[in-house]
Amino acid sequence: MPGRHALVVDDESLPPAPPQPPSGWYADPSDAAQWRWWSGEEWAEHRHPRDPLLANEYALPGTAKSTERPAQSLPSWSDPGLLPEPTVEPHHDLRSRIPAQSLMEQILRLSADAKSEPRTDGPHQLPDEIHSWYAGAVGERRVAEILSRLGEEWTVLHSVPVGSEGSDIDHVLIGPAGVYTINTKHHANKDVWVAGRALRVSNHPQHHISNAAFEARRAAKLLTQASGLTVETAGLVVVVGARKLVIKAAPDGDDVTVGVVRDSELLGALQSRRIYSDEQVRRIADAAVQARTWSLLPVSAVDPDELQTQYEALEGELATEAKRRSSQAAARRAPTSRPQRTAPSRPPSRRPSKKRRSALPELMKLVVLAVVVVIAINYLGSLSAPSAPAPATFATAELEQTALSQAAGTAAVALDQLSSSGVRPTSLVVGDDSTLTAPDGSAVVALPAGTTADYVPSVDGLSYTLTLTGPQHGTTVTVTPEAGVVPAPAATS
């Protein structure tokens, strides 16, 4: 998608960056005209005047450990004895952040707040807003799993803190084919429609395209300043779990290239011609992994492994609640039967009615005919009772695997159609007639007789792995929503 090669930038063509304060010094939240020391946990009573012309260039720190900045000398201190010696901490590498980290931190924070409130009417209930954060985390982790299949030439960053308002970019990619910012949107069982600058989800307008363009535009500016190269960035909106994605007209991001794709189409969208050399990719990636490239706010000092463990302990409860809500939404969308209208009663006619012919003889004839038909069917069925089909035979392993691949493709389409709530079936079974069937009795695909099927849905219910094994040569075919049909190497017979 990006179309220009990275070029070395003349420093004079960029606006000069404001001088940064030494590590630990930030804008005082109580007085924008002075610096104040942030210990990493709380504000200290050490202050110093700042340049009022640059008052808006520095953001305030949050409540986590301070981000790292290179030490630079400030103008002479009014009382150096009150000020601690500025320290220089190692640069924070954003490659240590895990997918959906910002969302996971928010989910755990909301859960802890809910459980800290005293209750006398039963167990603690998670707040409603936590479920929208969880849906976003499921989407981001899903896309991160797909991005993990990219080659070593790609640098992939997740949950990149950016700006001064605590926002982040879901994923940032740097590779030979370009630089991308990814905005993940989890729209389970929704119809997504795109035309130009417009994007609608179940016919409700959304700002996904303009937001993706803004993220890409801002990333291009920040990476250009930090790397010394002209970096062109494309924005991608990756839709997870949608029932249908219709691109009526190409997305329009004004001066920025924007694409809208399903998660299963993501890797294909990234495979394009090389536009950056290995050295240019390295320079851009070196700038991208530094937290200070994106924001002056402190970076959360949460241990990723501990965060992952705490989140997974809560994930089961969140997934169960998400399935319940999805089922309720599907039930609300299901058509309901309308009460039958009865014709209004009419007053009896005063005119004498004519004598009507009895319908009883005709009705008796129909009953006798129906009985005869049922007896005939039962008799014919008893003459040749159906038996279990014999295993299918294939002359070669290649022919067997071809048949399995066709069945796997049909199953993938049927599973998408059966996932009306955005969640895949919990199990699939092969019946006596070799038909793969869902728990509700819906037929998925007719398999070659004797084929075995191994179906494993994901924990969040959005994905699955279906493996078919042939009855004669033992060839296997695996199908997933992300990779499609993947035959295992067939052994020739």
pTM of structure: 0.55
Residue closest to 482 by CA, chosen among 467, 468, 465: 465
pLDDT, tens digit only, all 493 positions of the chain = 555 445 544 444 444 444 555 556 677 776 666 767 666 666 776 666 665 444 444 445 543 333 333 333 333 333 333 333 333 333 578 999 999 999 998 888 888 887 777 766 666 677 777 888 888 999 999 999 999 999 999 999 999 999 877 789 999 999 999 999 999 999 988 999 999 999 999 999 999 999 999 999 999 999 999 999 999 999 999 999 999 999 999 999 999 999 999 999 999 888 778 899 999 999 999 999 999 999 888 777 778 889 889 888 888 888 887 778 767 766 665 555 454 444 444 444 445 444 455 667 777 777 777 777 777 776 666 555 445 556 777 788 888 888 888 888 888 878 877 776 667 888 999 888 888 998 888 888 888 888 999 999 888 778 889 999 998 888 999 988 877 788 887 554 4
The number of beta carbons lying within 10 Å of the beta carbon of residue 24 is 25
Determine the distance from the C-alpha atom of residue 333 to the mean position of all C-alpha atoms in its chain, rounded to a whole number: 23
Query: What pLDDT is attached to residue 460?
Result: 76
Return left, alpha or beta for 441; rule: phi > 0 is left, psi -120 to 50 is alpha, else beta.
left
Query: What pLDDT is attached to residue 69?
Result: 35
d(CA 240, CA 208) in angstroms, rounded, equals 13
Determine the distance from the C-alpha atom of residue 62 to the mean position of all C-alpha atoms in its chain, rounded to a whole number: 27
State the architecture of 397-487 in CATH terms. Answer: 2-Layer Sandwich (3.30)
- In Å, how far are 111, 140, 144, 347 from 318, measured between CA atoms? 11, 16, 20, 61
Query: What pLDDT is attached to residue 203?
Result: 92
Query: What pLDDT is attached to residue 303?
Result: 86
- In Å, how far are 36, 44, 53, 294 from 41, measured between CA atoms? 13, 9, 28, 22
Query: What pLDDT is attached to residue 51?
Result: 53
Domain spans of the chain, in order of start = 11-17+92-319, 397-487
d(CA 206, CA 244) in angstroms, rounded, equals 16
Return left, alpha or beta for 189; rule: phi > 0 is left, psi -120 to 50 is alpha, else beta.
left
| Residue 35 near residue 265, CB atoms below 8 Å | no
d(CA 99, CA 155) in angstroms, rounded, equals 14
Residue closest to 296 by CA, chosen among 15, 27, 16: 27
Query: What pLDDT is attached to residue 402?
Result: 82
Query: What pLDDT is attached to residue 467?
Result: 94
- In Å, how far are 190, 192, 194, 207, 307 from 204, measured between CA atoms? 11, 9, 12, 10, 35
